[in-house]
């Protein structure tokens, strides 16, 4: 089964084609342009390079966030019409799951994505990539308090890099990895696992996962509350 996977939730625009959970080929680009400019050209080039067309795709996998609000919307809005046209299912994959897949055979894997102003998104997984608890969208200090109950933690993600000094100070035996990149390849591999578990979405049901409101929405709500209090 050929799977098309995309990840536009970070600064990297990434597309991949897999045969089940084995990578066939991938394209990735981080050139400062918006993902809306890069995504379809990367996809077209990838298909042509492998003598495929979109009709050869039998399943889709999409990173639905959390991460860049604009990037997530671009990814989901691109994958929906493809699923409708081809009448195929979609695996909804989070960026926190995708990061965790860069690490193998560790007791506790912690994915941390920076959300600015000391806010982070966090996912805590076991060695089989199962969630140990619900995803967090909190201040890094609150996340660290949550992590203190776990042993042998390995952290990954741009949030882990940003707050490395604090994490090392507050958590015993905390380790870090070099590969902090998100990849459509991992999205596809997780997507195939979800296929085997019969845990798939359709164009009508797949939605972005933001975990917290965008800065624009927060400012709008604050302004509304201020007006009401006057």
Quote the CA–CA distance of 101 and 99 in Å, as a whole number: 5
Kind plus residue range of the DSSP H or E element containing 220: helix 215-229
Average pLDDT over residues 126-152: 95
Task: Give the closest residue to 75 by CA, choosing from 56, 55, 91.
Answer: 91
What are the tens digits of pLDDT across the range 41-86?
999 999 999 999 999 999 999 999 999 999 999 999 999 999 999 9
**By residue range, what is the domain housing residue 210?**
2-94+182-214
Is 223 a domain residue? no
Is 12 a domain residue? yes
Is 43 a domain residue? yes
Cβ-based neighbours of 99, under 8 Å, separated by 6 or more? 111, 113, 123, 156, 157, 180, 182, 186
Q: What is the chain's mean pLDDT, rounded?
A: 91
Structurally, how many domains does the chain consist of? 2
What's the CA dihedral at 81, 86, 89, 92 to 10 degrees?
-30
54 plus 108 within the same structural domain: no
Reply yes or no on whether the pLDDT at 220 is more than 70: no
Quote the CA–CA distance of 102 and 98 in Å, as a whole number: 7
Is 220 a domain residue? no
73 plus 120 within the same structural domain: no
| Residue scoring higher pLDDT (172 or 98) | 98
The predicted structure's pLDDT at residue 178: 87
Reply yes or no on whether the pLDDT at 33 is more than 80: no
191 plus 142 within the same structural domain: no
Is 145 a domain residue? yes
Share of the chain above pLDDT 70, in %: 92
Is 221 a domain residue? no
113 plus 146 within the same structural domain: yes
Band (pLDDT 50/70/90 cuts) for residue 213 is low
Three-state SS at 88: coil
Cβ-based neighbours of 140, under 8 Å, separated by 6 or more? 112, 118, 119, 120, 159, 163, 166
90 plus 188 within the same structural domain: yes
Reply yes or no on whether the pLDDT at 93 is more than 80: yes
11 plus 41 within the same structural domain: yes
Q: Looking at residue 209, which CATH number applies to its domain?
A: 3.30.420.40
Is 228 a domain residue? no
Is 59 a domain residue? yes
164 plus 186 within the same structural domain: no
On whether the CB atoms of residues 143 and 131 are closer than 8 A, the answer is no
- Could you tell me the pTM of the whole model? 0.90
Instruction: Write the CA distances from 149 to 90, 146, 153, 172, integer angstroms.
Output: 35, 7, 10, 10
The predicted structure's pLDDT at residue 151: 86
């Amino acid at each position: 089964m050929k799977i098309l996977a995309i990840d536009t939730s970070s600064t990297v625009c990434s597309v991949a084609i897999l045969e089940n959970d084995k990578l066939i080929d991938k394209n990735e680009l981080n050139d400062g342009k918006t993902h809306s400019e890069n995504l379809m050209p990367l996809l077209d080039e990838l298909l042509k390079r492998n003598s495929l067309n979109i009709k050869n795709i039998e399943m889709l996998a999409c990173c639905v966030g959390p991460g860049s609000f604009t990037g997530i919307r671009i990814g989901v809005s691109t994958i929906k019409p493809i699923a409708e046209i081809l009448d195929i299912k979609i695996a909804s994959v989070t960026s926190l799951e995708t990061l965790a897949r860069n690490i193998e055979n560790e007791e506790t894997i912690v994915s941390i994505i920076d959300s600015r102003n000391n806010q982070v998104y966090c996912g805590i997984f076991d060695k089989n990539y199962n969630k140990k608890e619900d995803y967090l969208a909190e201040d890094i200090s609150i996340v660290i308090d949550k992590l203190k109950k776990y042993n042998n933690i390995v952290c990954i993600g741009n949030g882990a890099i940003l707050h490395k000094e604090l994490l090392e100070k507050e958590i015993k035996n905390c380790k870090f990895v070099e590969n902090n990149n998100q990849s459509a390849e991992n999205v596809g591999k997780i997507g195939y696992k979800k296929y085997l578990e019969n845990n798939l979405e359709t164009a009508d049901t797949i939605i972005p996962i933001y975990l917290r409101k965008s800065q624009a929405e927060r400012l709008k709500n604050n302004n509304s509350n201020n007006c009401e209090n006057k």
